[in-house]
């Protein structure tokens, strides 16, 4: 009897604790994204400007590349070692007695360059001195002709005594940044020289000591990482040649369609900021559209020709680079087609030669802190772009966290509300991608973004409101669990094919709302 009762209890215990899950659905309307794309935001970064008629002007001044001047004037790392000793067999030295006072010249080894004067932008000289006598010695290291703010470089170091086999050692690291170096040597008529002066004095507080001609006071200096920001001399005949590539990754998102660009005005400028003459040649300027496998090389009558590049004018802060300009517009060459190719990759081939005719400046080539050599792209034209089914697509990582199981999206819709004052409209399609970026489902919007029309005063576009809906049915909602990214594909078309003026009130304001039925399970 008692056993039966307890068995009944255990049975009920097991049955009573078993329970299926509880679930319910809730309806939520929540804003997800609220943002706006304003043309005025791009006016402030000097890329665009507003004309008096409120139309937008493209004002571009972009440096395509700069030549590294360290390739032009490069001081290699150099180490110089010297040994000083007295000229007589021995000498009894009293405390505070100077027994070495020598100036040495160190020659920098340049191929063709002859530097008369230079200013160090950065770099160090590491000095190592050895004291072979028993008492301390005072080493005074100075660099004649190396000046900063009118003061010659000088440093004093007390080095402990030692022996001939085990000398006392002192190591100094000297920061040469900001120092101007007269490289003409002791007599002022040479080049590429750096002087050093070493004075060795016995310890003023030490004892009398005997020095022999076997005692070698070694001096080594190592110049490392010297960078110049000023140089005068002859820089040699230097030739640069390269093909540089500029990637415009944003354009890789354009996978189809066409644009029509009107009223173009573009300028390519080679600038020489050093006081040395040269020659330049643009060999190639090519637009490559990798999505559509098209490439167009820009035409210009001077491309491929060796053109003279004058020396810069002025000195120091007033240095004015010389310019070599290549102008393009709608009526010259193929610029329109070059740009309408919408290349995501641009290749530019060039060569620049400095001093092609040798030392024509008689050793007066100069570079200053602001000197550089480079190529700039300048544009100044009204923004009039037509779009014809221009397709942009991009992928965004997303995780709906449906693995949490507590709350899952059951069905619903995403609603995109827009207010548009651009002369461009769009249809939008979303693709749900799995972890292997395979398409699970596509969601085509119900409705599209309408392009705006100009107002009667022809100085702005009239805002047009649109609503796009993306319906998420139960089948799609289940796929959200496996969705790891969303590909957004938008197909743009302009109000007109040509001459779509963009005005200063151009903006796309949008709010993305979710209206979802969520299933909670506990």
Partner 1 sequence: MIGRIIKISVINVAFGLSCYLNGQELLPVVLDTTLANEQLNIVGNAFTSSTSIRNEFSRKFLFGGEIEESLAKKVAKRQKDYNRLGGGYRIRGEFRAKNQVFKAHPDWSWMIDITQEAHLSAEFSDELIGLGFVGNEMYLGKEVTVAGTAARWDQFLAIGGGLHNRKTKSFVTLNLVLPQSFFEVDVAKGYFGFSELGDHVTAEIKADIVRENPSLYFKGVGAAVNFDFNIPFGSPETYNGIIGVTARSLGFFSIHKSVFSKVETQQDFSGLPLDDIINTEDFGGLVDSLGVNTYRKTMYRMLPGFFQIGKVVSAHHPKKIQSFFGVRMYATKGYKPLIYAGAHYQPIRQFSLGVQGAFGGYANFRLGFYLNYTTDSFVVSAGSEDVLGMISKSQYGHSGLIRIAWEF
Residues that bind partner 1 (CB under 8 A): 2, 5, 8-9, 12-17, 19-35, 396-397, 417, 511-513, 515, 517-518, 522
Structure tokens at 125: 């000289």
Smallest gap from residue 20 Cβ to partner 1 (A) = 3
CA atoms within 13 A on the CB side of 266: 23
Compare residues 137 and 506 and give the one whose CB is closer to partner 1.
Answer: 506
Phi-psi region of 9 (alpha: psi -120 to 50; beta: other; left: phi over 0): alpha
Compare residues 32 and 83 and give the one whose CB is closer to partner 1.
Answer: 32
Q: Measuring CA to CA, which residue among 328, 283, 329 is closest to residue 307? A: 283
Smallest gap from residue 8 Cβ to partner 1 (A) = 7
Structure tokens at 166: 């085990």
Smallest gap from residue 49 Cβ to partner 1 (A) = 25
d(CA 145, CA 117): 10
Smallest gap from residue 413 Cβ to partner 1 (A) = 12
Compare residues 5 and 404 and give the one whose CB is closer to partner 1.
Answer: 5
Compare residues 29 and 171 and give the one whose CB is closer to partner 1.
Answer: 29
Smallest gap from residue 518 Cβ to partner 1 (A) = 7
Smallest gap from residue 23 Cβ to partner 1 (A) = 5
Facing residues of 92 across strands? Answer: 210
Smallest gap from residue 25 Cβ to partner 1 (A) = 6
Compare residues 332 and 446 and give the one whose CB is closer to partner 1.
Answer: 446
Could you give the angle at the alpha carbon of 283 between the alpha carbons of 278 and 285, nearest 5°?
Answer: 120
Smallest gap from residue 461 Cβ to partner 1 (A) = 22
d(CA 464, CA 428): 17
Rg (CA), the chain: 38
| DSSP assigned state of 501 | B
In three-state form (DSSP H/G/I as H, E/B as E, the rest C), the secondary structure along 351-406 is EEEECCCCCCCCCCEEECCCCCEEEEEEEEEECEEEEEEEEEEEEEECCCCHHHCC
Listing DSSP states for 213-276 in one string gives TT--EEEEEEEEEEEEEEEEEE---EEEEEEEEEE-GGGGGEEEEEEEE-S-EEEEEEEE-SBS
Smallest gap from residue 6 Cβ to partner 1 (A) = 9
| Tokens 């076997």, residue located | 214
Structure tokens at 254: 């354009």
Structure tokens at 183: 């490289």
d(CA 146, CA 119): 9
């Amino acid at each position: 009897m008692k056993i039966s009762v307890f068995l009944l209890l255990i049975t009920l215990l097991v049955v009573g604790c078993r329970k299926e899950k509880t679930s319910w659905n809730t309806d939520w309307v929540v804003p997800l994204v609220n943002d706006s794309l304003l043309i005025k935001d791009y006016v402030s970064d000097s890329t665009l400007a507003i004309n008096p008629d409120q139309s937008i002007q493209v004002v571009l001044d972009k440096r395509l590349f700069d030549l590294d001047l360290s390739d032009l004037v490069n001081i290699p790392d150099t180490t110089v070692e010297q040994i000083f000793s007295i000229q007589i067999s021995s000498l009894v030295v009293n405390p505070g007695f100077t027994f070495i006072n020598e100036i040495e010249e160190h020659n920098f080894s340049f191929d063709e360059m002859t530097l008369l004067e230079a200013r160090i932008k950065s770099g160090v000289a590491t000095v190592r001195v050895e004291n072979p006598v028993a008492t301390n010695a005072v080493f005074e290291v100075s660099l004649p002709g190396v000046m900063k703010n009118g003061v010659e470089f000088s440093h004093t170091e007390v080095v402990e005594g030692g022996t001939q086999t085990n000398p006392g050692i002192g190591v100094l690291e000297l920061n040469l940044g900001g120092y101007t170096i007269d490289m003409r040597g002791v007599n002022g008529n040479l080049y590429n020289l750096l002087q050093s002066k070493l004075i060795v004095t016995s310890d003023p507080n030490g004892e009398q000591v005997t020095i022999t001609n076997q005692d070698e006071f070694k001096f080594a200096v190592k110049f490392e990482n010297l960078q110049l920001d000023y140089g005068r001399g002859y820089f040699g005949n230097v030739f640069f040649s390269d093909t540089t590539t500029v990637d415009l990754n944003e354009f890789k998102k354009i996978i189809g369609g066409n644009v029509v660009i009107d009223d173009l005005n573009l300028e390519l400028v080679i600038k020489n900021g050093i006081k040395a003459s040269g020659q330049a040649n643009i060999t190639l300027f090519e637009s490559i559209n990798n999505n559509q496998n098209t490439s167009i090389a820009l035409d210009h009558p001077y491309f491929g020709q060796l053109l003279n590049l004058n020396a810069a004018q002025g000195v120091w802060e007033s240095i004015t680079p010389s310019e070599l300009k290549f102008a393009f517009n709608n009526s010259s060459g193929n610029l329109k087609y070059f740009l309408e190719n919408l290349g995501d990759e641009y290749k530019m081939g060039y060569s620049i030669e400095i001093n092609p005719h040798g030392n024509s400046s008689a050793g007066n080539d100069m570079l200053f802190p602001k000197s550089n050599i480079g190529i700039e792209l300048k544009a100044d034209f009204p923004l009039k772009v037509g779009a014809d089914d221009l397709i942009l697509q991009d992928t965004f990582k997303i995780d709906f966290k449906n693995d949490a199981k507590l709350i899952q999206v059951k069905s619903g819709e995403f609603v995109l509300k827009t207010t548009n004052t651009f002369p461009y409209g769009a249809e939008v399609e979303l693709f749900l991608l799995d972890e292997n970026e395979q398409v699970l489902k596509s969601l085509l919007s119900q409705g599209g973004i309408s392009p705006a029309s100009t107002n009667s005063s022809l100085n702005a576009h009239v805002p047009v409101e649109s609503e796009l809906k993306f319906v998420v049915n139960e089948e799609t909602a289940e796929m959200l669990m496996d969705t790891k990214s969303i590909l957004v594909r938008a197909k743009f078309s302009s109000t007109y094919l040509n001459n779509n003026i963009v005005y200063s009130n151009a903006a796309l304001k949008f709010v993305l709302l979710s209206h979802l039925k969520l299933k909670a399970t506990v």
